Amino acid sequence: MSRPWWKNAVGYQVYPRSFKDTNNDGVGDIAGIIEKLPYLKSLGVDFIWINPIYKSPNVDNGYDISDYEDVQPEFGSLNDFKILLDKAHDIGIKVILDLVVNHTSDQHPWFIESKKSKDNPYRDYYMWADATPDKMPNDWTSFTGNSTWTYDETTKQAYFHVFAPQQPDLNWRNPKLRQEIYKMIRWWLDLGIDGFRMDAISHIQKAPFDYEPPKDDPWKPFMNVKGIDDYMAEMRDIFNQYDIMTVGEASGVSSKQAPEWTDPNKKGYINMIFEWEHNAREGEEGHERINVDEMKQVLSRWQKDQENSGWNALYFENHDNPRINTILGNETKKSAKAIAMSYFFLKGTPFIYQGQELGMTNYPFKSIDEVDDDESQIRYHNMVNSGKDPKEALQIITHWTRDHSRTPMQWTSDIKAGFTEGTPWMKINQNTKTINVESEMADPDSVLNFYKKMIAFRKSEPTFIEGNYDWFLQSDPDVYAYLRTDDKKQFLVIVNFSKQKKIVTLPKELMNDKWQVKLTNTTEKNLTEQFEMEPYDGFVYECEN
């Protein structure tokens, strides 16, 4: 079998609401993505993953879908999407869409029907159980921290949801529901899209409702639960009929289990998984940073557990996480580049989140009114209701809120960032004065130009596709260092995440005079056993065997 296209591909995540607004209503749109295709091409990416563009009441920014086969009018029309797909394909960019099938919106016609009566034909598309307003069917906790159940007066039962109450979970045990979902999946694939990012896919099966979760693991009843394999296998059999890629958001699937999911010689449900574990935090609530030590261990474990079987998805940023250049870096060009080097040469398919390639930073939230995200809002109000000082609550939720990644893309130094001429749906970070596409294109030393170089370099070296991964300097708390090796070449990646200067001792057996710097964010220098690194120094060295 020849190597699938996505193994040597670089992906770019587009958050459509915040990418580019063309009709000045303050919301990004499909026409905006079309307008920026040449930009994406010049960056060198092979595919884009677009967050949900389907019809939605927008409680969770499109992750609450009310029509799977139509486009949210704010974003444009289905026809606009078809144009985007054609134009992207014309210039060799593939298009992946979000597949959100753990739940729908409570405004989806299926749920509206389901709510009507116990014997409605759509009742079993969702999960209902007897309840009273003060006694839910069980006391499981949802991802919002509140109950997984919402009581409904009409039929005196409660329905189940692992996210917000406006996102009722679909009942995957129902074969009729599954057939509807599969029909929809085929509909999009037949339209010509190149794959799916599968949202919250590890939650589609639930434990029996009398199951009591362990105190320290409240979400266990819907994390990769027994029975999910049957559904995943059914979807795989559809996916395998198309030349597409699939990446699953699959928390609860461990690195040990991952090869079963991603190796086509095993169960091979999907091509790769976005693991969540490496987003390890340390420090007091409201002041957390990434725990570098744990991050290194998690990344290495996933590399090793899928080294000979399965495949990894590589990322630092997405629409659910703060900006990496703030929480791991120090908001400089240099740290943005160091962070980029540290994950881009791991084994797997790298993803870049919009603005990451500019070194965009967190937004300085000053008031709860500036926060859009439903999850952060719920957490804030829970805290304030239980007596927390509102200022402190704001600090806690805004420190790590996913809204940081959702402020508009910074195209120009203009006060509206070249994103819109209207009022943007979310505040624009004022550092767009210096961090923006236009200025960075003109600056040879910019983060953007560094990304371009890095992408081209990664794609030019087959060692980065199949080469082995070896982790060294394992016990250093600040420096991440690894080797990628095949029979022709060896690459050494080394990054200092510390704000201090460091001197590390490299393994003797690596020392020879053939190492050459291929990529760095500082002055080139020879590789030596006693290796001195300034804060956020990063290097990629190459050695021909």
Annotated catalytic sites, by residue? 199, 249
178 or 416: CB nearest Ca ion: 416
Question: Minimum distance from CB of 416 to Ca ion (Å)?
Answer: 13
Taking alpha carbons only, the member of 432, 435, 430 closest to residue 448 is 435
* Residues between 193 and 212 that touch ligand GLC (CB under 6 A): 199-200
Structural contact between residues 504 and 476, judged by C-beta atoms closer than 8 angstroms = yes
Structural contact between residues 302 and 312, judged by C-beta atoms closer than 8 angstroms = yes
87 or 402: CB nearest ligand GLC: 402
Q: Check residue 229 for interaction with ligand GLC (CB under 6 A).
A: no
Q: Choose among ligand GLC, Ca ion, none what residue 537 binds, the Cβ cut-off being 5 to 8 Å by kind.
A: none
The number of angstroms, rounded, from the C-alpha of 366 to the middle of its chain's C-alpha atoms is 26
- DSSP-assigned beta bridge partners for residue 490: 485, 543
* Residues between 159 and 178 that touch ligand GLC (CB under 6 A): 163
Torsions phi, psi of 449, nearest 5? -70, -30
Question: Minimum distance from CB of 52 to ligand GLC (Å)?
Answer: 8
Q: Choose among Ca ion, ligand GLC, none what residue 199 binds, the Cβ cut-off being 5 to 8 Å by kind.
A: ligand GLC
The number of angstroms, rounded, from the C-alpha of 132 to the middle of its chain's C-alpha atoms is 38
Question: Minimum distance from CB of 303 to ligand GLC (Å)?
Answer: 23
Q: Per-residue contact track with ligand GLC, 311 to 350, x per CB under 6 A?
A: --------xx------------------------------
Question: Tokens 């007066």 label which residue?
Answer: 153
Q: Choose among ligand GLC, Ca ion, none what residue 249 binds, the Cβ cut-off being 5 to 8 Å by kind.
A: ligand GLC
Question: Minimum distance from CB of 308 to ligand GLC (Å)?
Answer: 29
23 or 257: CB nearest Ca ion: 23
Taking alpha carbons only, the member of 252, 261, 240, 234 closest to residue 195 is 240
Question: Minimum distance from CB of 27 to Ca ion (Å)?
Answer: 4
Burial grade of 468 (CB within 10 A; 0-12, 13-18, 19 or more): middle
Q: Check residue 274 for interaction with ligand GLC (CB under 6 A).
A: no
51 or 362: CB nearest ligand GLC: 51
Q: Choose among ligand GLC, Ca ion, none what residue 80 binds, the Cβ cut-off being 5 to 8 Å by kind.
A: none
Structural contact between residues 418 and 439, judged by C-beta atoms closer than 8 angstroms = no
Q: Are strands 502-505 and 530-533 parallel, antiparallel or unpaired?
A: antiparallel
Binding site for Ca ion (CB under 5 A): 21, 23, 25, 27, 29
101 or 290: CB nearest ligand GLC: 101
Q: Choose among Ca ion, ligand GLC, none what residue 163 binds, the Cβ cut-off being 5 to 8 Å by kind.
A: ligand GLC
Question: Minimum distance from CB of 137 to ligand GLC (Å)?
Answer: 22
Q: Check residue 249 for interaction with ligand GLC (CB under 6 A).
A: yes
Q: How many residues does the chain have?
A: 545
Whole-number Å distance between alpha carbons of 164 and 142: 8
Whole-number Å distance between alpha carbons of 40 and 48: 9
What is the sign, positive or negative, of the torsion defined by CA atoms of 31, 32, 33, 35?
positive
Residues in Cβ contact with 160 at an 8 Å cutoff, skipping those fewer than 6 apart: 126, 127, 128, 129, 148, 149, 168, 169, 206
User: What is the spatial order of strands in the sheet that 468-472 belongs to?
Assistant: 468-472, 479-485, 489-496, 538-544, 516-520
Indicate the residue whose CB is closest to ligand GLC: 63
Question: Minimum distance from CB of 155 to ligand GLC (Å)?
Answer: 25
* Residues between 468 and 487 that touch ligand GLC (CB under 6 A): none
Q: Choose among ligand GLC, Ca ion, none what residue 200 binds, the Cβ cut-off being 5 to 8 Å by kind.
A: ligand GLC
- Choose which of 48, 85, 100, 448 interacts with ligand GLC (CB under 6 A): 100
Q: Choose among ligand GLC, Ca ion, none what residue 383 binds, the Cβ cut-off being 5 to 8 Å by kind.
A: none
Q: Per-residue contact track with ligand GLC, 58 to 97, x per CB under 6 A?
A: --x--x----------------------------------
163 or 311: CB nearest ligand GLC: 163
Question: Minimum distance from CB of 99 to Ca ion (Å)?
Answer: 24
14 or 479: CB nearest Ca ion: 14
Residue type for position 327: I
For 268: left if phi > 0, alpha if psi spans -120 to 50, otherwise beta; the answer is left
Question: Minimum distance from CB of 100 to ligand GLC (Å)?
Answer: 6
Q: Check residue 106 for interaction with ligand GLC (CB under 6 A).
A: no
321 or 432: CB nearest ligand GLC: 321
What is the sign, positive or negative, of the torsion defined by CA atoms of 527, 537, 274, 460?
negative
Question: Minimum distance from CB of 533 to ligand GLC (Å)?
Answer: 35
Q: Check residue 411 for interaction with ligand GLC (CB under 6 A).
A: no
94 or 319: CB nearest ligand GLC: 319
**Three-state SS string across 187-246, please?**
HHHHHCCCEEEECCHHHCCCCCCCCCCCCCCCCHHHCCCCCHHHHHHHHHHHHCCCCCEE
Q: Choose among Ca ion, ligand GLC, none what residue 234 binds, the Cβ cut-off being 5 to 8 Å by kind.
A: none
Whole-number Å distance between alpha carbons of 246 and 193: 11
Whole-number Å distance between alpha carbons of 394 and 287: 12
Q: Choose among ligand GLC, Ca ion, none what residue 294 binds, the Cβ cut-off being 5 to 8 Å by kind.
A: none
Taking alpha carbons only, the member of 166, 140, 177, 206 closest to residue 63 is 166
Total chain residues near ligand GLC (CB under 6 A) = 9
Q: Choose among Ca ion, ligand GLC, none what residue 394 binds, the Cβ cut-off being 5 to 8 Å by kind.
A: none
Whole-number Å distance between alpha carbons of 492 and 470: 9
Question: What six digits make up the tokens of 434?
Answer: 């210096």
Residues in Cβ contact with 100 at an 8 Å cutoff, skipping those fewer than 6 apart: 52, 54, 63, 65, 199, 200
Binding site for ligand GLC (CB under 6 A): 60, 63, 100, 163, 199-200, 249, 319-320
